[in-house]
Amino acid sequence: MVMIETERLKLYALTREQLETALNDVNQLVAEMKIQAPPDIFSEESRQAMMIKISRMDHAERRLHPWYTYFLLVRASDRAAVGVCGFKGAPSLFGSVELGYAMHEDYRNFGYMTEAVRALVDWAFEQENCSRVTAETLPDNFASQRVLQKAGLSLDRSADTMLYWKVDRKEVEERGNVGRRRMGT
């Protein structure tokens, strides 16, 4: 299991089995991971994404699973699950990955998601096959846009219904590492 540690969070890459457990019995996942979590920690949108992630993991090499799963964001101080963040698949032939995330409403506006996004961007660029991290937001989702800006992504382009964000490995290397952390396997 990949685990990323930041100043205030531990990001656990959920295994395929843990994703399935999260869908079927959140209390079992909470007990197995020895964490605390509100019963609605996973939004309906996150639950739908989990089903897609499980399907994709079933068709991907196990070593690539961290690119397909959600990382569960756990506050280090009290082991409270606060949200999820992850990529939508392994890097493309051009080295690009897309990031998605969801924060439980009780834990918004504390900077946790910015911290998590920075850590995942760093982790992605430590993998030799990734050279760009992208994300998309709705034009009126100002909170999500602010997370991406504070995490170092910049607006790449916009369309009528979506804003597209990016950060390249070269940009991160030029400004130095965004957020130091440790990783376990």
pLDDT at 160: 84
* Higher pLDDT, residue 110 or 174: 110
Q: Model-level pTM?
A: 0.91
172 backbone dihedrals φ, ψ, rounded to 5°: -65, -45
Mean of pLDDT values over 33-47: 94
- Confidence category of residue 174, pLDDT binned at 50, 70, 90: confident
Structural domain boundaries, residue 7? 3-184
Domain total of the chain: 1
User: Which H/E stretch holds residue 86?
Assistant: strand 80-87
Contacts of 17 (CB under 8 A, 6+ apart): none
What is the percentage of the chain residues whose pLDDT exceeds 90? 89
CATH number at residue 75: 3.40.630.30
What is the percentage of the chain residues whose pLDDT exceeds 70? 95
